[in-house]
Amino acid sequence: MDIEKIRKDFPVLSRMVRDRPLVYLDNAATTQKPAAVIEAITGLYRNYNANVHRGVYLLAEECTQAYEDSREAVRRFINAGSTEEIVFTRNATEALNLIAYTWAEANLRAGDEIVVTIMEHHSNYVPWFRLARRKGAVIRIVPARKDGELDMDAYRSLLSSRTKLVGIAHMSNVFGTINPVKEMIALAHRQGAAVVVDGAQSAPHIRIDMQDLDCDFFALSGHKMLGPTGIGVLYAKSSYFKSMEPFLSGGEMILRVTLDDIVYNDLPWKFEAGTPNYEGAIGLKAAIEYLEALGMDTIEAYERELTTYALEKMRTVPDIFVYGPSDPSKKCGIVAFNIRGVHSHDIGTILDSEGIAIRAGHHCAQPLMIDCGVSAMARASFYFYNTRQEIDMLVKALNKAKGMFGHVA
């Protein structure tokens, strides 16, 4: 990839921050947007804005077609079997809650077990915790080994005939670990459990294939893969969607309403009540086309190179501790770390003074923080528009931060 040419597609990357060139390394939180995505959204509002599925005039037909073309783009991107299996949501969080309040609410009973990993983002933990509390179900936690990978022996031992649902982060938003979800799904299915995969971090960085993974549910967020905010996707096998009650009720999700009856709409519109975020879906389609033009395998290979380089350079910083796998082949695009004597928020503030944007805090993964014995971590996360030079600037700034707090034990 011609990285310098690619960077010109992202207007924000040319700006100055604190009188320094912006170094944006918070891509696990959200990614920057290429001109193609921005233009797709502005083009909608300039040329064919209209509510979808409802009008018989030309603008409405054009907007509806663009919205449904976006659904097909998502289907193609994750290799789902049908557009019936693609439901647009606000984000991955809403997608995961949709499962909790529909399928899981109807199918879990007291004493049933829910298996989740210690690496889960709160979005793939809190809904199941609340569900377990409502239903009298039991949460089982898959631990991580000291090398930042899941303990697969422990996972196997936790699965049983009582396991009804398994929640797995495809890629940890803290460690960057790419979990062996295909194997985990197969093991769960042998026990008759449904599997929910949080793909918010994986979808932007690696090739996703629903036919290969065979998961029952998969959630992703558009804003983490170049798309706009406010648009997410829930994939589910059509057999699940057909059996599930709608999450929200109102317009669009119905086929017919009479004084004494309600007939739900066909899939996938049964789960898309009200005016959808068609702007977000159209922007997401442009983002997907941008990623496909680069090639997901190419993106993954380049990011692994960046991650390898970052791990090598960052370990030269005095008193730094890097979390997660040390083997770059086991992770992608994320390095979480702490420096002895320097709080992660201080690291973030000092880096900001150098024009460098990272994330500091618990990263919506407090169970993992507790397991690591810390309250917070700093996190640098990369995307294909980042460069080795930016990593060099990061390391220089980290050394500055350590120098400023060097007197602290």
Instruction: Give percent of the chain with pLDDT exceeding 90.
Output: 97
CATH assignment at residue 206: 3.40.640.10
| Half-sphere exposure at residue 11, Cβ-oriented, CA atoms within 13 angstroms | 6
Q: Residue 54 has what pLDDT? A: 84
Chain mean position to CA 236: 16
Same domain, 84 and 211: yes
Do residues 222 and 288 lie in contact, with contact meaning Cβ atoms separated by under 8 Å? no
Tokens describing residue 100: 């909790």
CA–CA dist 136, 163 (Å, integer)? 13
Same domain, 54 and 164: yes
CA–CA dist 149, 172 (Å, integer)? 10
Q: Residue 406 has what pLDDT? A: 65
Same domain, 130 and 277: yes
Same domain, 68 and 121: yes
Of 273, 292, 311, the position where a domain reaches its end is 292
Number of domains in the chain: 2
Residue 277 lies in a domain: yes
Angle at 186 between CA 183 and CA 191, to 5 degrees: 130
For residue range 319-354, list pLDDT tens digits in order. Answer: 999 999 999 899 999 999 999 999 999 999 999 999
Instruction: Give percent of the chain with pLDDT exceeding 70.
Output: 99
CATH assignment at residue 304: 3.90.1150.10
CB atoms closer than 10 angstroms to residue 337: 22
For residue range 218-230, list pLDDT tens digits in order. Answer: 999 999 999 999 9
Same domain, 300 and 281: no
| Half-sphere exposure at residue 254, Cβ-oriented, CA atoms within 13 angstroms | 11
Q: Which of 208, 166, 172, 201 is nearest to 185 (CA)?
A: 166
Task: Domain of residue 379: give its range.
Answer: 3-26+295-404
Q: Residue 114 has what pLDDT? A: 98
CA–CA dist 231, 215 (Å, integer)? 21
Residue 223 lies in a domain: yes
Distance (Å) of CA 128 to CA 25, 57, 138, 171:
31, 44, 9, 19
Does residue 230 come out as left (phi exceeding 0), alpha (psi in the -120 to 50 range) or beta? Answer: left
Of 292, 313, 336, the position where a domain reaches its end is 292
CA–CA dist 298, 296 (Å, integer)? 5
Q: Residue 1 has what pLDDT? A: 86
Distance (Å) of CA 124 to CA 106, 246, 322:
18, 20, 24
Which residues lie closer than 8 Å to 355 by C-beta, 6 or more apart? Answer: 16, 17, 18, 19, 20, 21, 22, 23
Residue 340 lies in a domain: yes
Same domain, 326 and 282: no
Same domain, 141 and 52: yes
Same domain, 191 and 256: yes
Q: Is 364 known to be catalytic?
A: yes
409 or 74: which carries more pLDDT confidence?
74
pLDDT of residue 408 exceeding 60, the answer is no
Same domain, 116 and 249: yes
CA–CA dist 234, 100 (Å, integer)? 12
Q: Which of 120, 102, 94, 30 is nearest to 233 (CA)?
A: 94
Residue 69 lies in a domain: yes
Residue 34 lies in a domain: no
Residue 36 lies in a domain: no
Residue of 63, 332, 364, 372 with catalytic role: 364
pTM, full prediction: 0.96
Same domain, 128 and 8: no
Same domain, 91 and 174: yes
Of 292, 308, 332, the position where a domain reaches its end is 292
Residue 40 lies in a domain: no
Q: Residue 233 has what pLDDT? A: 98
Burial class (CB in 10 A: 0-12, 13-18, 19+), 114: buried
pLDDT of residue 380 exceeding 60, the answer is yes
Same domain, 160 and 16: no
